[in-house]
Amino acid sequence: MKNNWNRGRLAAIRQQNPAALAFVSNGNGGVDVSQLPLRLPNGDLVPNVVYTMTVSPQRPPGADGDSLSTFADLHPVFASQWSDEADNPSRMSPYAAEFFGRHQIGWAAANWNADPRLIMDAANQVFTATAWGTIAMRAAKLPVRPHLKAF
């Protein structure tokens, strides 16, 4: 079970730094939260964990009220890989940006100098945004309330 593996990794990290903030994948890619959140043997939530997701047109975030939105409303979530086609982004990406804002999901857009590029040509200093880059820039300006709480 992937959660046992994640708990083992977290235990090793916490031996070195008990307060470390850990970013943990669901182990399946995409937005599957069926085996999350991670819990301690006594049933308590594992503290200081941010759950990471992969979001793309092939792995959309879903709708409000589905498992990801419900999970994200209760736990810190970060779209560690959010991508789309550089020159022809899908209609899913603007929706994903708004979904992230509604459910306090942090994100990182891919990629600076590999496809799908956010800008035209970093190597030659052509920093004009691609269509995908424009969506990411708009998303960066959307308001999001902080989700993490001090321990």
pLDDT in tens, 10-41: 878 878 888 888 898 877 778 889 888 988 88
Mean pLDDT (whole number) for 52-58: 90
Cβ proximity of 85 and 132 under 8 Å: yes
pLDDT, tens only, 81-136: 888 887 888 889 999 999 999 998 999 887 777 788 889 988 899 999 999 899 99
Distance, C-alpha 20 to centroid of its chain: 19
Whether the pLDDT of residue 76 is over 90: the answer is yes
- Reading the block at residue 150, the tokens are 């001090």
Rounded-to-integer distance, Cα 84 and Cα 115, Å: 9
Instruction: Specify whether the backbone of 70 is left (phi greater than 0), alpha (psi in -120 to 50) or beta.
Output: alpha
In the chain, domain spans: 24-33+45-140
| Single-letter amino acid code for the residue at 12 | A
pLDDT class of 3 with cuts at 50, 70, 90? low
DSSP summary character for residue 34: T
For residue 25, what are the contacts with CB-CB under 8 A and spacing of at least 6? 6, 51, 52, 80
User: What's the pTM?
Assistant: 0.82
Whether the pLDDT of residue 1 is over 50: the answer is no
Cβ proximity of 85 and 50 under 8 Å: no
